[in-house]
Structure 1
Amino acid sequence: MGQIAWLGPQDPFPNPFFEADPDPSVPGLIAVSERIYPGQLSRAYQLGIFPWYSENQPVLWWSPDPRMVLKPTEFKCSESLRKDIRLFCQNTNSQILVDADFGAVIRSCATTSRRDQDGTWITHEIMDAYTDLHEQGNAHSIAIMEDGQLTGGLYCVAFGGMVFGESMFSRKTNASKIALASLSAWCLQNKIEMIDCQQETAHLRSLGAAPISRQTFLEQLQISLNQTKIEPSWAFDKSILQYWL
């Protein structure tokens, strides 16, 4: 049994592509650090690693096996969701705002109550770190607005041709699904083949996500990062939802 690396500010991550889980009793846990250091989050994502921990814990860095992913071509747009998308598009007081208020979206993801979940993993440190990533152009928000109110949305991370979904929230039925439908349609439009969903849940399965091996995920990640960098515009609006109608 190996030892999980404790990272300082300049220490490199173990590369999960080449190195097995250091402690098989905690599968997927790659490293630990006292805090999220500057530049660390960017380096982690490009190795297929992400932070997930609770308040008053050290920062736990993960690369799970299997890895849950959503291929935009396999997004499941149910009849009830398609109906809500149609109503949303017909409402002259509804809109999708991309990167308009990243802070509001990530705070909503952190504070919206969820069934069977006590508290949140989106700590103040997480919000600060992803806001920095947003300011660098590698994290994005999608806000669903209806009658001037934020009813749902999501935030994600993007490097090269890979999009990493982070968290969604809804204050109205299907609002977060509308945000994911818009992201999936945008990915299809820009030939992005995979949205990383990190860990398996029944909710993600219902939307078309499926687990793949860590090795397969990391291979696809490397292909996406090594491609000529995709620089698509994130300035889409609700018209992108016409793809599902």
Structure 2
Amino acid sequence: MYYLTQELYFPSVETASPEGIVAVGGDLSPERLVLAYNSGIFPWFEDDEPILWWSPSERMVLFFEDLKISKSMRNVINQKKFKVTFNTAFREVILNCKKIARKDQPGTWITDDMVEAYCNLHKLGIAKSVEVWENEELVGGLYGIDLGHVFCGESMFSKVSNASKMAFIALAKQLEMANYRLLDCQVYNDHLASLGCVEIDREDFLMVLKA
């Protein structure tokens, strides 16, 4: 296990543990976070843990041509029930992601330090958000890191049915129009799979990232 020092450095992701941990420790400075994402690494830990840096052997991603929009979701979109905005309420989005209850997950990995770190990245134009509104109330959204050709999604939330799907679809369509290569979703879950996301090898992900 590699323990980070103050030096701005990460070991090769090829040295990751079988679970995908590349390194432990360090900090959440903007410089280290940007280096991590550009290296295919992301932080994921809980309050009582040191900072853990991950690069799993399988990466969950969306290739935009594979985006799945169900018939029922198309009806929701056509009803214009929701309004979607970009980068208008970043802190509110990440705080909702932090506190939303999740199935089979007792707590949150979005610590107070992570909230402040990503808000700092947002001020630098690197972390971005999507907001979904219903009757002027924020009911869903997501946030992530914008690398210019790959968007690394971090977390999403939904207070009403379909709100997070709306955010995801709106982001995917915007990224496709801007000629991004893919949307990185990090690790598998059924919700992402239902939207068309697939797992690819870490090596294939890094090839896209470095392109």
- TM-score using structure 1 length: 0.83
Which of residues 133, 147, 151 in structure 1 aligns to 2:135? Answer: 147
Secondary structure at the counterpart of residue 180 of structure 2:
coil
**1:38 positional shift:** 4.6
CA distance in 2: counterparts of 1:212 and 1:177, whole angstroms: 22
Q: Give runs of aligned pairs for residues 10-29 of structure 1, distance below 5 A.
A: 10-16=7-13, 19-21=14-16, 23-24=17-18, 27-29=19-21
* 2:93 aligned with 1:86: no
State the partner residue of 1:241: none
Q: CA deviation at 1:9?
A: 2.2
1:205 maps to which of 193, 199, 202:
193
Q: Report whether the alignment pairs 1:126 with 2:114.
A: yes
What's the CA shift for 1:15? 2.4
1:5 matched residue in structure 2: 2
Query: Contact 1:142 / 1:154 at 8 angstroms: preserved in 2?
Result: yes
Offset of residue 115 of structure 1: 1.7
Distance (Å, rounded) in 1 between the aligned partners of 2:179 and 2:29: 32
Give, in angstroms, the shift of residue 118 of structure 1.
Answer: 0.8
Alignment partners' CA distance in 1, 2:58 and 2:207: 13
Q: CA deviation at 1:34?
A: 5.0
* Contact 1:36/1:129, CA 8 A, preserved across alignment: yes
* Matches of 1:155 and 1:77, distance apart in 2: 20
Q: Which has the larger radius of gyration?
A: 1
Return the alpha-carbon distance in structure 1 between the equivalents of residues 190 and 164 of structure 2: 15
Where do residues 82-231 of structure 1 align in structure 2 (5 Å cutoff)?
Answer: 82-87=74-79, 89=80, 91=81, 94-223=82-211
Deviations 1:152-182 (A, max 9, x none): 0100111121111111100110000000010
Deviates more, 1:110-119 or 1:55-64: 110-119
Contact 1:67/1:197 (8 A) holds in 2: yes
Q: Is the 8 A contact 2:2 2:23 kept in 1?
A: yes
SS in 1 for 2:151: strand
Write the letter of the residue equivalent to 1:196.
Answer: D
Counterpart of 2:15 in 1: which secondary structure? coil
> What amino acid is aligned across from residue 169 of structure 1 in structure 2?
F
Distance 2:95 2:39 in 1: 26
RMSD (CA atoms) = 1.3
Partner of 2:55: 63
Q: Give the SS at the match of 2:74.
A: helix
CA distance in 2, matches of 1:138, 1:35: 17
Contact 1:9 1:37 in 2 (8 A): no
Q: Percent identity?
A: 39
Q: Return the alpha-carbon distance in structure 1 between the equivalents of residues 146 and 47 of structure 2.
A: 25
Provide runs of 4+ in structure 1 moved above 3 Å: none
Q: Which amino acid aligns with 1:82?
A: R
Q: Secondary structure at the match of 1:43?
A: helix
**Distance (whole Å) between structure 2 residues aligned to residue 60 and residue 107 of structure 1:** 21
Is residue 8–residue 33 contact of structure 1 (8 Å, CA) maintained in 2? Answer: yes
Amino acid at match of 1:163: F
The size of the alignment, in residue pairs, is: 211
CA distance in 2, matches of 1:36, 1:140: 17
How far apart in 2 are the matches of 1:38 and 1:208? 31
